[in-house]
Amino acid sequence: MELLDNLALGFSTALLVQNVLYCFVGVLLGTAVGVLPGIGPTATVAMLLPITFSFEPVTALIMLAGIYYGAQYGGSTTAILINLPGESSAAVTALDGHEMARQGRAGAALAAAAVGSFIAGTVATVALAVAAPPLARVALQFGPAEYFSLVLLGLIVSIALARGTALKALAMIALGVLLGTIGQDIYTGTPRFVFDQRELYGGIDFVSVAVGMFGVAEILRNLENEQTRTAVVSKVKNLWPTREDRRRIVGPILRGTGLGAALGVLPGGGHVLASFASYAVEKRISKRRQEFGRGAIEGVAGPESANNAAAQTSFIPLLTLGLPAHPVMALMVGAFIVHGITPGPNVITDEPALFWGLIASMWIGNVLLVLLNLPLIGFWVRMLRIPYQVLFPMIILFAAIGTYSLSFNAYDVYAIAFFGILGYILIKCGCEPAPLLLGFVLGPLLEENLRRALIISRGDASVFLTRPISAVLLALAVAALAVTVLPAIRRRREIVFAEEE
């Protein structure tokens, strides 16, 4: 009964006119950036974060969340029609989706992706509503030692889900944590690594790092390697799947939803892992294994359901523990903080309208996405004809204006340029910026809980091992690090990310 009352509160908040409007704007932008290869939801959320500061907190978060899960929908459209995934998690969809399009069955593939995404999004939203409150109650029992161990576990698990070698991912996390220490010491106020620059006393601005690393750096990389984009489908017909297609997609959608919901809470890139895991499962259990790679509809329905379910459940650790499971979730942490809200287990009691309104808006967003995607397929394909040389300067201009408007300080714009160049260099060196952003966001939390635990225990470091939950989390962190560097696991990671590229 309490859950129904909370959902009623959520829908009464989410259905306010301005919230529905910005939910629509979010999913529309998300679909657009999912369709356009090379931009992605991380860069988009980073660059739109500054303009949301004047919004109500729940409105801002509804729009930013819509961009993220909307991009999962949009990525499948170009993967199916032109064999060019707009989102990394849609890479596996292209294997069979594009083959179906070449056989004249693009409509069935797009419908399977849309139906699977909607069902998975709906189920995952219910899972989020059911699982979040008890998890939040458990999290309230956590002390500084448990939070330190939990953050450390999250950072180490994210190594396994990052591209490149585990050593490079670990180096990126360390660099992110180091950047997070710049500024005044949290307890003594002593300046650290400020190099006599007044602007650094308050630390490096989160928005500048995010926009530079994910906006400018990605744009530079895509301008260097602009891909040819030509649509092979002139007109999409028969959007509703046949009876045989409907029979074949039921199992993959249900299995993909379950896999995605479970893997979405993993730090790093659970939605990418979920789509590849779903494809592998469907191929392994299918009686038509020879059709995979040649136009099997199961190879579209399963992965699309998995990545959309994972996109929704990745909000669980954010809303219950205050920990981001994905770079976009790290940006959402920043959005919470700039609106004066501390993400974590207290949000559900301190801001119930925001908490339940955000959850309810996800279902509304899923309905809007179904209505947006199928009727507007022709529009999304025409968007691909916009030259990158026109599109990207406009994106950078708006990002710079938005960042400058935060404090009207030119230093923030210089910071965007610096981190954009740094991000581009790191990409060229084979290092993924995502672990750096997670380290930058979680580093201060790691340090604060480490020092708080040691102050409470009067300098006794054994407190991390004598408290049972903390000890278990540390043991899991050590195990995750050991597993990541095992030769067999390392080879498997290389195969997965080679397939994705």
pLDDT tier for residue 416 given thresholds of 50, 70 and 90: confident
Q: Is the pLDDT of residue 24 over 90?
A: yes
pLDDT at residue 161, as a whole number: 58
Q: Is the pLDDT of residue 171 over 80?
A: yes
* Residue of 160 and 142 predicted with greater confidence: 142
Q: Are 290 and 283 in contact (CB under 8 A)?
A: no
For the chain, what is the mean pLDDT? Answer: 80
Q: Are 193 and 200 in contact (CB under 8 A)?
A: yes
Q: Is the pLDDT of residue 379 over 50?
A: yes
* Residue of 215 and 446 predicted with greater confidence: 446
pTM of the model: 0.72
Q: Are strands 183-184 and 191-192 parallel, antiparallel or unpaired?
A: antiparallel
- The angle, 0 to 180 degrees and rounded to 10, between the axes of the packed helices 388-407 and 217-224 is 170
pLDDT tier for residue 373 given thresholds of 50, 70 and 90: confident
* Residue of 50 and 450 predicted with greater confidence: 450
- Which residues in 442-461 are b (16+ Cβ under 10 Å) and which e? bbebbbbbbebbbeebeeee
Region of poorest pLDDT, from 232-241, 289-298, 341-350: 232-241
Reported as a single tens digit per residue, the pLDDT across 79-120 is 787 766 656 667 778 778 888 887 878 788 888 888 888 888
pLDDT at residue 233, as a whole number: 47
pLDDT at residue 231, as a whole number: 47
Tokens of 137: 């109650």
pLDDT at residue 496, as a whole number: 47
Radius of gyration over alpha carbons of the chain, in Å?
A: 22
- The angle, 0 to 180 degrees and rounded to 10, between the axes of the packed helices 144-160 and 166-180 is 140
Q: Are 7 and 360 in contact (CB under 8 A)?
A: yes
Instruction: End-to-end CA distance of the chain: give it in Å, rounded.
Output: 47
pLDDT tier for residue 499 given thresholds of 50, 70 and 90: very low
pLDDT tier for residue 175 given thresholds of 50, 70 and 90: very high
Q: Are 309 and 124 in contact (CB under 8 A)?
A: yes
* Residue of 255 and 488 predicted with greater confidence: 255
Smallest Cα–Cα separation from 448: which of 174, 148, 156, 205? 148
Task: Give the alpha-carbon dihedral of 301, 305, 307, 310, to 10 degrees.
Answer: -160
Long-range CB pairs of 459-466 (<8 Å, 24+ gap) are 463/145, 464/145, 464/148, 464/149
pLDDT at residue 7, as a whole number: 84
Average pLDDT (192-202) is 85
Smallest Cα–Cα separation from 124: which of 317, 257, 265? 257
Reported as a single tens digit per residue, the pLDDT across 380-395 is 667 666 776 777 787 7
Tell me if residue 341 falls in helix, strand or coil.
Answer: coil
Q: Is the pLDDT of residue 411 over 90?
A: no
pLDDT tier for residue 404 given thresholds of 50, 70 and 90: confident
Average pLDDT (276-280) is 81
Reported as a single tens digit per residue, the pLDDT across 309-340 is 888 888 888 888 777 777 788 888 888 888 88
Reported as a single tens digit per residue, the pLDDT across 213-258 is 877 887 787 777 655 444 444 456 666 777 888 888 888 999 989 8
Smallest Cα–Cα separation from 406: which of 42, 65, 47? 47
Cβ neighbours of 409 (radius 10 Å): 13
Tokens of 252: 């993959």
Q: Report the percent of the chain where pLDDT is more than 90.
A: 8
pLDDT at residue 164, as a whole number: 64
pLDDT at residue 168, as a whole number: 85
Tell me if residue 194 falls in helix, strand or coil.
Answer: coil
Task: Give residues with Cβ within 8 angstroms of 385, minimum separation 6.
Answer: 229
Half-sphere exposure of 17 (CA within 13 A, CB side): 0
Task: Give the alpha-carbon dihedral of 415, 22, 382, 391, to 10 degrees.
Answer: -20
DSSP 344: S
Reported as a single tens digit per residue, the pLDDT across 245-255 is 888 888 899 99
Reported as a single tens digit per residue, the pLDDT across 59-69 is 999 998 888 88
